[in-house]
A = this chain, B = another copy of it.
Amino acid sequence: MKVFTDPKKLQKWCAARKLAGRKIALVPTMGYLHEGHLSLIQKAKAKRADEIVVSVFVNPVQFCPGEDYEKYPRDEKADLAKCRAAGATAVFFPTPKNMYLDRHSVYVCEEDLSKGLCGARRPGHFRGVCTVVAKLFNLTHPDFAVFGQKDYQQVQVIRRMVRDLNFDLDIVMAPIVREPSGLARSSRNTYLSAEEKEKALAISRGLRALKPNSKLSTLNSQLKSAGLRIDYVECVDAQTLEPRKKVAKGCCVLVAAYDGKTRLIDNILI
């Protein structure tokens, strides 16, 4: 497994692999890898990628002021071992300084799908996501990139970016991976106490119970009585992310809620 820190070297290697006719998959992550990330690598394998490039980068530009950029969990050594074991053929560990050079001034903005949901609560978040993902696409020229459904809005925003900027690649969405309790896997779960983990289950339990015509007010009450502070509970069209009044086929119901100080997200496609 190759390990890169220098963007130019990664780019050169990927270009050579591509010229050699190899099929490249990109798996962008912020590291502190868990079963969810590893499922993305599995997905890349299942789709017969010859090279699986995992990027591990806590992207400062997608964090808003006051968010957890500094304390976001990091463990490079464990991540390397996990990538190797999962079958990655290259890992990219850049530094903020070599990803954002002096006077960095170019950003990619999505102005439709990123307006609501997490985009409304985290100003600049999707600008940061689109920018770093565009950079990773240009560095690796993948045949496809794998993202997890847990960040459902992110997947839709990136699909739109691929379409609108004519990136020559496919976006593959992999299903949410859950702990045996039902809690969606997240690097941020490490912030949760045992008690908070227990509370968090109301989210996955509430989402799983949804059916066409279910009332969101029920889900709202369930989350509140579990002791969570709701950021949003919304039902949207799964493609356009436009609000839908009724839970129905073709919708996605998304939740963001604070469990103590930790913001958790989860969703379900109806």
Contacts and interface: CB of A to CB of B under 8 A. Distances in A.
A248 interface: no
Nearest to A114: B105
B106 A15 contact: no
A202 to B, nearest CB: 34
Nearest to A127: B109
Contacts of A106: 108-111, 130, 160-161, 163-165
A131 B134 CA distance: 12
A106 B163 CA distance: 9
Contacts of A11: 166, 168
Chain A interface mostly: mixed
Nearest to A240: B103
A218 interface: no
A7 interface: yes
26 contacts: A7-B166, A11-B168, A15-B168, A19-B21, A100-B164, A101-B164, A103-B160, A103-B240, A105-B110, A105-B112, A105-B160, A106-B108, A106-B110, A106-B160, A106-B161, A106-B163, A106-B164, A106-B165, A107-B108, A107-B111, A108-B165, A131-B165, A138-B166, A138-B167, A139-B166, A139-B168
Interface of A: 7, 11, 15, 18-19, 21, 100-101, 103-113, 130-131, 134-135, 138-139, 141, 160-161, 163-168, 240
